[in-house]
Amino acid sequence: MSGAPNRQYRMLPQLGEFVGRDQIQQLLDTYPADLVTEASRRVIARLRSHLQQGVMADEKLEIAIEQLADSVAAELAKDRAQSLRSVINATGVILQTNLGRAPLGNAAIRRIEEVAAGYCNLEFDLASGERGERGSSIEKLILRLLANERSISVDADAASRSALVVNNCAAATYLALNTLAEGGEVIVSRGELVEIGGGFRIPDVLRKSGAHLREVGTTNRTRISDYAAAITPATRLLLRVHRSNFRIEGFTERPSLQELIHLGACASVPVFEDQGTGCAVHLNEYGIDDEAYWPDSASSGIDLVSCSGDKLFGGPQCGILVGKCTIIEMIRRNPLYRAFRVDKLTLAALEGTLSTYLDGDRESLPVIRMLAMQPEEVQRRCNRLADALRSSALRAEVVATRSVVGGGTTPGASLPSFAVALEHLSMSETTVAARLRGLDPPIVGRVCDRCVRLDLRTVPEDQDDLLIRQIGMEFNGSSKLEE
């Protein structure tokens, strides 16, 4: 040991004795014993290492020792804050990847509850009593939804198409490229060599899949003739990637999906679209133009389409592949499918989400409800929140703002909305934002113009009172909510 004199080291409590103290014992009401012991060990060790690093006055050390129990409590609270918790998303970003993307609808939650606690027929055919195919019931629901949306007969479609569910769209795309194009060439437009976020870059995924990238066209213009000219005997696939998170404006050109499909058919090269969003509603009904509609892609005669389950579709995290039966079967037989397949809880949630669509009840899905919410409705709720929170210390104004869909889905598009802008007399906006995140449940807002903005479009209405209570108690010491 070095630094402090031995006498000071001897002032530190022994772990066994320390853990027996009343103050520490009280923590056992809230936390498991092993966590309390572990946190105590860390806190004492930290003080010891302070002593090693330099001289500390006896009085200062005594104070630090007196405060050890508080430090343990703070340490435990910090650990708990880092566990997975539900938070209130008041950012106005409907699909926020950092906040878990799509909240699930009630049907999906019910299905998870039903399946989670016991056994289920995940890969078991109840009619024959033999092994069944994972996801076989889901496949029928996906095809039915796509057929309904396009007003075509399910039977016509089901004969030639099937579907497969994997862990996410990145896995679906990787699996598709690896199955269809390993060792061969994939033709893709330079305008679609995108990075989706979280390190998902199309050129990197292609390389890892064992396929060779053949870029055609330019960033802003690619013609069908560019694809045609690049086809050689080594070509395995024509790839189309949805420009999820950016827009190219001005002097631009891109062949239609139909042109690509036609070219693929003539050259006997399959066409695969990474559609991404899984959007199964017409977004123009909600004031957002120009958004690719998943059922259009999936039923266009294309060979294969991938999309996410937890973006605009509003379901659990998963990747959905829809395509020609022969292609889906090849993918299912790829040994890597085993590494990417989904679990029973995901299938249960996806089934619940699909039945919500099939029952014509899509606006009960949180994502669709938030898209559909009228700005006047958000404004009415903001007025109530601001009136209840406004005090001599806290300014609360209702301001017009724009909500965005997010999650890499509708670049540049936004929805008119309203927010409560909070400004505290003596705290900076970053402090206010941090205090909001420290509440239980944490509230995540957006810092903007020296205020913290809470856009209520992304907050479930039944949590308005919770917000009023928690924020009121935190900044005004009371809540104006009549109980």
Ligand X SMILES: *Cc1c(COP(=O)(O)O)cnc(C)c1O
Residues lying near ligand X in the complex (CB under 6 A): 168-170, 173, 196, 200, 241-242, 244, 274, 276-277, 308, 319, 408
Q: Structure tokens of 452? A: 């913290």
| Residues whose CB is less than 8 angstroms from the CB of residue 343 and which lie 6 or more positions away in sequence, other chains included | none
Of the pair 255, 445, the CB lying nearest ligand X is at 255
Return the DSSP state at 419. Answer: E
Question: For residue 363, what are the CA distances in angstroms to 239, 355, 357?
Answer: 33, 13, 9
Q: What is the smallest separation between the CB atom of 231 and ligand X, expressed in angstroms?
A: 23
**Strand-pair partners of 324:** 161
Residue whose CB is less far from ligand X, 342 or 454? 342
Q: How far is the CB of 155 from ligand X (least distance, A)?
A: 30
Instruction: Give the pairing of strands 443-444 and 88-89.
Output: parallel
* Separation CA 23–CA 103 (nearest Å): 40
Residue with smaller CB distance to ligand X, 275 or 417: 275
Torsion of CA 95, 204, 280, 180, to 10 degrees: -160
Shortest distance (Å) from residue 192 CB to ligand X: 9
Amino acid at 412: G
- CB distance 238 to 230 below 8 Å: no
Residue closer to ligand X (CB basis): 215 or 377: 215
List beta partners, residue 162.
Answer: 323
CB of residue 29 to ligand X, shortest distance in Å: 41
Instruction: Tally DSSP H helices, then E strands, for the chain.
Output: 21, 16
Spatial separation of the C-alpha atoms in residues 411 and 249, rounded to whole Å: 12
Q: Phi, psi at residue 323, to the nearest 5°?
A: -175, -170
Taking the least distance from each CB to ligand X, the nearer of 39 and 181 is 181
Closest to ligand X by CB, 87 vs 193, is: 193
Q: How far is CA 93 from the centre of its chain?
A: 11
- Measure the CA–CA gap between 393 and 471, rounded to whole angstroms: 12
Smallest distance from the beta carbon of 409 to ligand X, in angstroms?
7
**Shortest Cβ distance from residue 276 to ligand X (Å)?**
3
What size, in residues, is the chain? 483
Q: Which residue is nearest to ligand X, using beta carbons?
A: 276
How far apart are CB 135 and ligand X at their closest, in Å?
17
Are 446 and 430 contacting, i.e. CB atoms less than 8 angstroms apart? Answer: no
Per-residue DSSP letters for 297-356?
HHTTT-SEEEEESSSTT-S-S-EEEEEEHHHHHHHHHSTTHHHHB--HHHHHHHHHHHHH
Strand, helix or coil at 3?
coil
Which C-beta is closer to ligand X: that of 173 or that of 458? Answer: 173
How far out from the chain centre does Cα 170 lie?
13
Residue 295 or residue 472: which is nearer to ligand X going by CB?
295
Contact by Cβ (8 Å): 191, 222: yes
Q: How far is the CB of 7 from ligand X (least distance, A)?
A: 58
Question: Which residue lies nearer to ligand X by CB, 165 or 443?
Answer: 165
State which residue, 299 or 410, has the beta carbon closest to ligand X.
410
Supply the minimum distance, in Å, between the C-beta of residue 247 and ligand X: 14
Q: Report the nearest approach of ligand X to the CB of residue 432 (Å).
A: 32
Residue 363 DSSP one-character state: G
Cis, bond preceding 441 (omega within 30 deg of 0) = yes
- Measured from the CB of residue 359, what is the shortest distance to ligand X in angstroms? 25
Residue by residue, DSSP assigns 146-157 as HHHHTT--HHHH
Give yes or no for a contact between 231 and 179, defined as CB atoms under 8 angstroms apart.
no
CB of 76 to ligand X, least distance (A): 34
Nearer to ligand X, 61 or 213 (CB): 213
Radius of gyration of the chain (CA): 28
